[in-house]
Amino acid sequence: MNSIRYILTTIILPAIFLMTGFQKDHIEERLEKLENKSEELDKAKDFEKNIGFLKETTDIKWDANYYEWAEARKQAKHLHEDSNGRFERDWGTFLVHQAKKKNIDPAIVFELLNVETGGKFDPDLVGPKTKYGKAYGMAQFMKNTGPWIAKKADMPYSHSWLFDPYYSIQLSIEYLDYLYEKYDNWNKALTAYHRGIGGLEAYEDKHGNAESWYALEIQENAEEKQDVLVSY
């Protein structure tokens, strides 16, 4: 009898208490994770309220599910840090998800914006005057290129929207998608983005290839980010 009592008090009951405590901790941990997930889902749903131009179109959508949202937020954090805080995390979240929907490496888009703005990521940037005019916004679209791409992508257009970071990002993604589909080559697509389609042809005639400094710099810098920007 004493041996049974010993086993009960020293082994079985402590084990029961330990398991009960473990289950309680596990349940509380699960509840906390569910609460966090619910909060993140609410943030994902509310996110598009900050993106004004989406209200003007049914063709461009913000439709990230929880897992896409979480991954985009994680990658956007890296972009924010890489820019020394100049490229806002919300912009990065939008960029990552929208680029992936077009099967475009988000780092390509980020580095393009980096080069276009000289590392400032200034949504209000106005480029210097050239014989073709000035370029506007974070993605540096000219007055003739912006509406042309917007029309092709079934996006609404207003010159003032070129200074909206979300619109500028989306328009750059649409243009890159169009150019890559046209050329199936990133050197050509990026050089055409920088110089225009006619400028690409002139560059190729002169150099025999499309390996401009612009295209190479963007791709090399994007490649360096692959260890932190994991595709989802």
92 and 16: one domain?
no
232 assigned to some structural domain:
no
Q: What value does the mean pLDDT take over residues 190-212?
A: 96
Q: What value does the mean pLDDT take over residues 202-210?
A: 97
Number of structural domains, the chain? 2
194 and 152: one domain?
yes
**pLDDT for 76:** 96
22 and 120: one domain?
no
Task: Calculate the average pLDDT of the chain.
Answer: 86
Q: What value does the mean pLDDT take over residues 44-69?
A: 79
Cα-based angle 204, 136, 51 (whole degrees, multiple of 5):
115
230 assigned to some structural domain:
no
156 and 68: one domain?
yes
Q: What value does the mean pLDDT take over residues 164-192?
A: 97
75 and 159: one domain?
yes
114 and 184: one domain?
yes
Q: Which residue would you say has higher pLDDT here, 15 or 192?
A: 192
131 and 209: one domain?
yes
Q: What is the pLDDT of residues 131-172, one digit of tens each?
A: 889 999 999 999 999 999 999 999 999 999 999 999 999 999
Handedness of CA 149, 154, 160, 161 (dihedral sign): negative
Q: Confidence band (pLDDT; 50, 70, 90) for 232?
A: very low
**pLDDT for 12:** 65
**pLDDT for 6:** 60
**pLDDT for 202:** 97
**pLDDT for 228:** 66
Q: What is the pLDDT of residues 5-32, one digit of tens each?
A: 665 566 665 666 666 665 555 555 555 5
From 34, 50, 66, the end of a domain falls on: 50
Which amino acid would we find at residue 134?
K
**pLDDT for 161:** 94
Q: What value does the mean pLDDT take over residues 82-95?
A: 96
* Alpha helices per DSSP H over the chain: 2-7, 13-47, 66-82, 89-101, 106-116, 145-152, 165-183, 186-195, 197-207, 213-224
Residue 91 is part of a domain; what is its CATH number? 1.10.530.10
Structural domain including 46 reads 2-50
46 and 62: one domain?
no
**pLDDT for 219:** 97
35 and 126: one domain?
no
229 assigned to some structural domain:
no
Give dist(CA 131, CA 153) in Å, integer.
Answer: 27
**pLDDT for 184:** 97
123 and 220: one domain?
yes
